[in-house]
Amino acid sequence: MRFTVRSRGDHDSNMISQRIKNYLLEFSLEFDPESPDIVISVGGDGTLLEAFHEYTHRLSETAFVGVHTGHLGFYADWQPEEVEKLVIHIAKTPFKVVEYPVLEVIIRHNGERKSERFLALNECTVKSMEGSLVMDLEIKGDLFETFRGDGLCISTPSGSTAYNKALGGAILHPSLSTIQIAEMASINNRVYRTVGSPLVLPQHHTCLLKPKNNVDFQVTIDHLTLLQQEVKSIQYRVAEEKVRFARFRPFPFWKRVKESFIAE
Beta-carbon count within 10 A of 43 CB:
26
Angle between helices 83-92 and 11-26 (to 10 degrees): 30
Scanning 45-53, 102-110, 177-185, 230-238 for contacts with ligand NAD by CB under 6 A, the matching segment is 45-53
Determine if 77 is a binding residue for ligand NAD (CB under 6 A): no
- What's the Cα-to-Cα distance from 240 to each of 80, 102, 119, 124, 218, rounded to whole Å? 34, 8, 10, 17, 25
Catalytic residue among 37, 45, 77, 222: 45
Closest CA to 85 of 136, 36, 19: 19
Query: Based on CB atoms, which residue is closest to ligand NAD, 230 or 259?
Result: 259
Binders of ligand NAD in range 140-179 (CB under 6 A): 158-159, 161-163, 166
Least distance CB 118 / ligand NAD (angstroms): 13
Determine if 122 is a binding residue for ligand NAD (CB under 6 A): yes
Instruction: Tell me which of 36, 44, 66, 198 binds ligand NAD, using CB under 6 A.
Output: 44
d(CA 223, CA 252): 25
Q: Is 142 a catalytic residue?
A: no
Alpha-carbon dihedral 245, 248, 253, 257, rounded to 10 degrees: -100
Residues forming the site for ligand NAD (CB under 6 A): 44-46, 49, 73-74, 122-123, 158-159, 161-163, 166, 222-223
| Residues annotated as catalytic (active site), given as ranges | 45
